[in-house]
């Protein structure tokens, strides 16, 4: 069968409602023009083909309720049929990972191995999958992120006002996150707080790498050892700040890198005799308040079966 190009083939005029008030126009367009490469979105903005209230705007312009946006015709290549089938299957599986859903937000137990959004060679991620599951939802945005190989609690806002509220909780450190991880080594119970500053670097390959540097950003993670298995430990990590790869790098800095973490544990292949393809880091618990409500909501995500299996194996070996 011959593929034909997908088209947003007519000029569109959109009026901005309250749900999109305050959103950057580039992010709005990326959400609306699904399948259009980000580079194309930024190009039509740069060229002035997108108009707000008949005027040119920059990518960082924040939309106001009542704004009228002119979106030009955009032509994109069709998606690959096999990828569509794979996407459909994975989207259906994701439905069973939803922990709770209200009119304002959604909590997901994100599977390990799935990125939170498309990009870097990935055709789709969690947010694209959820938008496919909820085609009538006008607004679905990630509140925070998890690494591709990290599982557990992921919060998605369904209203812009709630996204703003959740971001304020993150900024003021009022949203609490608890992770479980298996690390290599006997964790020192006296080492319950790491404050090493973190600096994000980009390798020539484009891969991100974070290191402890004196000129890095202030970072803090609190740790608690839950169980020892001889040469391994099960720990709880409670990040106070939210830096890229923070738990992984702080655990390495404390002398106990995550089991199977090939990026931050140079001996991971030698030490990993448990058949792991990646590290085990699970966002087990997330707690927060809602606007104008002091009651703290607490959500927990079940451990992935692989992590349960490894803990059971380690228990048997250590007994």
Domain count, the chain: 3
Question: 293-300 contacts: CB < 8 A, separation 24 or more?
Answer: 299/99, 299/100, 299/107, 299/153, 300/99, 300/153
Asked whether residue 62 falls in the same domain as residue 85, the answer is no
Last residue of a domain, one of 76, 100, 116: 76
Asked whether residue 314 falls in the same domain as residue 179, the answer is yes
> With helix as H, strand as E and coil as C, how does 150-169 read?
CEEEEEEECCHHHHHHHHHH
Spatial distance between the Cα atoms of 76 and 137, rounded to a whole number of angstroms: 23
Spatial distance between the Cα atoms of 25 and 23, rounded to a whole number of angstroms: 6
Last residue of a domain, one of 132, 161, 190: 161
- Predicted local distance difference test score (pLDDT) of residue 1: 33
Q: Over its length of 319 residues, how does the chain's per-residue pLDDT go in tens digits?
A: 333 344 577 888 999 988 788 889 998 898 888 778 888 888 899 999 999 999 999 999 999 999 999 999 887 655 554 455 455 666 778 889 999 999 999 999 999 988 888 764 445 789 888 888 888 888 999 999 999 999 999 999 999 999 999 999 999 999 999 999 999 999 988 889 999 999 988 776 667 889 999 999 999 999 999 999 988 999 999 999 999 999 999 999 999 999 989 889 877 654 556 677 789 999 999 999 999 898 999 999 999 999 999 999 888 877 6
Asked whether residue 178 falls in the same domain as residue 216, the answer is yes
Would you say residue 201 lies in a domain? yes
Asked whether residue 230 falls in the same domain as residue 184, the answer is yes
Q: Residues 232, 238, 239, CA angle at the centre, nearest 5°? A: 115
Spatial distance between the Cα atoms of 30 and 42, rounded to a whole number of angstroms: 9
Token reading at 95: 């439905």
Would you say residue 166 lies in a domain? no
Structural domain harbouring 124: 81-161
Would you say residue 167 lies in a domain? no
Residue 40 sits in a domain whose CATH number is 3.10.290.10
Would you say residue 168 lies in a domain? no
Check if 147 is active-site: yes
Burial 214-230 (b: 16+ CB within 10 A, else e): eebeebbbebebeebbe
Closest CA to 282 of 193, 176, 178: 178
Please tell me whether residue 247 adopts helix, strand or coil conformation: helix
Last residue of a domain, one of 76, 105, 125: 76
Spatial distance between the Cα atoms of 222 and 272, rounded to a whole number of angstroms: 25
Q: Residues 283, 178, 181, CA angle at the centre, nearest 5°? A: 60
Asked whether residue 98 falls in the same domain as residue 146, the answer is yes
Catalytic residue among 19, 26, 67, 147: 147
Would you say residue 120 lies in a domain? yes
Closest CA to 169 of 287, 300, 299: 287
């Amino acid at each position: 069968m011959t593929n034909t190009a997908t088209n947003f083939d007519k000029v569109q005029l959109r009026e901005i409602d309250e749900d999109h008030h305050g959103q950057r126009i580039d992010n709005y367009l990326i959400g609306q023009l699904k399948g259009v490469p980000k580079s194309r979105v930024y190009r039509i903005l740069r060229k002035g083909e997108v108009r707000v209230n008949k005027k040119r705007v920059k990518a960082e312009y924040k939309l106001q309720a009542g704004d009228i946006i002119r979106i030009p015709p955009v032509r994109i290549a069709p998606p690959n049929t096999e990828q569509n089938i794979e996407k459909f299957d994975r989207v259906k599986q994701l439905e069973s990972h939803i922990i709770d859903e209200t009119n304002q937000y959604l909590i997901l137990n994100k599977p390990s191995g799935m990125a939170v959004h498309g990009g870097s060679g990935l055709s789709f991620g969690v947010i694209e999958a959820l938008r496919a599951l909820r085609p009538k939802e006008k607004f679905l945005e990630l509140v925070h992120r998890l690494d591709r190989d990290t599982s557990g609690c992921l919060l998605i806002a369904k209203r812009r006002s709630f996204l703003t509220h959740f971001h304020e909780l993150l900024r003021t450190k009022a949203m609490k996150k608890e992770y479980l991880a298996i690390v290599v080594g006997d964790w020192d119970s006296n080492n319950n707080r790491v404050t090493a500053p973190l600096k994000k670097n980009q390798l020539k390959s484009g891969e991100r790498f974070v290191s402890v540097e004196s000129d890095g950003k202030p970072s803090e993670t609190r740790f608690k050892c839950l169980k020892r298995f001889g040469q391994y430990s099960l720990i709880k990590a409670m990040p106070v700040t939210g830096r890229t790869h923070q738990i992984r790098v702080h655990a390495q800095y404390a002398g106990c890198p995550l089991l199977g973490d090939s990026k931050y544990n140079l001996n991971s292949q030698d030490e990993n005799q448990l058949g792991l393809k990646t590290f085990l880091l699970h966002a087990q618990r997330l707690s927060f308040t809602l606007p104008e409500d002091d009651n703290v909501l607490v959500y927990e995500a079940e451990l992935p079966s692989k992590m349960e299996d490894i803990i059971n194996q380690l228990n048997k070996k250590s007994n």
